Amino acid sequence: MSFLSAIPVIALLAMLPVLASLRRMPVAGVREFSAGCALSAASACALTVAAALQAPIAAMFGYASLAVSLFFVLEGLRRFLVLWLPTSLCLVLAFSSGVLGFVIALGGNDSPAAAAIVVAGVVAVPILVLGLAAANRWPNERPSLQAVVVGSALVTFTALAHVLGPSSHALPAPDSPASILFDLLAVAMRVLCLPLLFFALIVAMQARIIGELRAAIARDGLTGSLSRGALIEEGERILVECLARQRPAAFLLLDLDFFKQINDQYGHACGDMTLAHFAETVSNFLAGRGVLGRIGGEEFGIVLPDHTEEQAKALAEDICHVVRETPAGRSHQRIRLTVSIGIAAAIAGETITDVMIRADLALYDSKADGRDRCSIARDRRVDSSARALAAAAAQLREARAGRQELRHSA
């Protein structure tokens, strides 16, 4: 039994460096979980030594460490899951759980209460693990999941306090199937419970970190709109879904007019403010009807599901009007903005890149026709020459803007 008792100690000590590495990440609760893991390892080690050497002082230290580790786990869950649970209540719950498990252990392993708490603990462990995993996946169900996680943690530690209690090493002789089952469940709790708990906590924290990193990467840091890669990915998904269901879809390519002049005249800080203002204005106008993303510089894209070419053109004209009527800056320094837009409706067999190329060609028409207007893509065939023309159109827009800046500075 000594080898089995050493398994949780070894597993918990192996998890401590992982938890320590997570402390550098901005995840709430990681410090508390680290302290709980260290105390759990100390508790398991002390109780193993107490059982082997019949040392009551080590056993008392082990029980106290187990109760304190539960407090740190509850405190970590409170911060990680944003629980409306005061610290004082976490302390009371941890103490009550430890005392209850210890009292049940004093009654022996053959009592109905002992059988009930061991079975409840075995059931609570997988529920706790699944609850931690689900808390990140279904944030809308967080209140009910919080109750499940906290309740399962309390039941788990109560069962632990029992199986590690004074009668845990004096199990009844396996003279019946019920006794054999009880022995197996008690050993499983003693050996696997704490490692599984902290492994689940580590996985939940890593999932939270990965989710936050993905959200940060998917957003443009300046404007809050989707990044180029995220826009293309989301646009491809929308396009495939619309075309599969024979529903229309369109793409708008927006280019803020004379943006380089704004940078030169007012400074780059004002230019950044203008981009953020423009993105906020367009996003508020869309109100969920499309997906806005920043392609680069002053160019933005909008994926419009369930929009025909005519509906997309009407919406683009409204965007031009709203941008024109919503200058950037404060009252003492208002910057009038205009935007040129290229429109392309998706057709069967196209990718989002194909639609964007056609919208880019239409955008060049809007720029060539005097800006502050929208144009519909006329060529529906995207081949190598169209791709080259799109690249040339982008270069011509930059060159044209550069010449206008020179004239403006002169």
Q: Is residue 189 part of a domain?
A: yes
Amino acid at 122: V
Domain-located, residue 223: no
Structure tokens at 145: 């999941």
The region that residue 348 occupies, defined by phi over 0 for left and psi between -120 and 50 for alpha, beta otherwise, is: beta
Q: Are residues 163 and 75 in the same domain?
A: yes
Alpha helices in 54-171 (DSSP H): 56-80, 87-106, 112-137, 142-163
Are 31 and 102 within one domain?
yes
Q: Report how far residue 111's alpha carbon sits from residue 104's, in angstroms, rounded to the nearest whole number.
A: 8
Tell whether 210 and 315 lie within a shared domain. Answer: no
Do 235 and 148 lie in a common domain?
no
Same domain, 212 and 121: yes
Per-residue pLDDT of the chain (410 residues; tens, 9 = 90+): 456 667 888 888 888 888 888 877 778 888 899 988 998 888 888 877 776 777 677 778 877 888 899 899 889 888 888 877 788 888 888 888 888 877 777 766 667 777 788 788 888 888 888 888 787 676 555 677 778 888 888 888 888 887 776 555 444 445 566 666 766 777 777 778 888 888 888 888 888 888 888 878 888 888 889 999 899 999 999 999 999 899 999 999 999 999 988 888 888 888 899 999 999 999 999 988 999 999 988 999 999 999 999 999 999 999 999 999 998 876 567 889 999 999 999 988 888 988 999 999 899 889 888 889 999 987 545 455 555 555 555 555 555 545 544 444 44
pTM for the whole structure: 0.66
**Structural domain containing residue 177:** 2-218
Instruction: Give me the sheet containing 249-256, strands edge to edge.
Output: 291-296, 299-305, 249-256, 339-345, 374-376
The answer to whether residue 8 is domain-embedded is yes
Q: Which ranges in 173-258 belong to alpha helices (H)?
A: 177-218, 228-244
How far apart, in Å, are the Cα atoms of 199 and each of 13, 150, 177, 194, 217? Answer: 12, 17, 32, 8, 27
Within-domain flag for 126: yes
How many Å apart are CA 406 and CA 151, to the nearest integer? Answer: 69
Domain count, the chain: 2
C-alpha to C-alpha distance for 86 and 88, rounded to whole angstroms: 5
* Phi, psi angles (nearest 5°) of residue 218: -75, -10
d(CA 30, CA 300): 39
Is 101 within the bounds of a domain? yes
Within this chain, do residues 192 and 265 fall inside the same structural domain, yes or no? no
Backbone angles phi, psi at 83, to 5 degrees: -80, 145
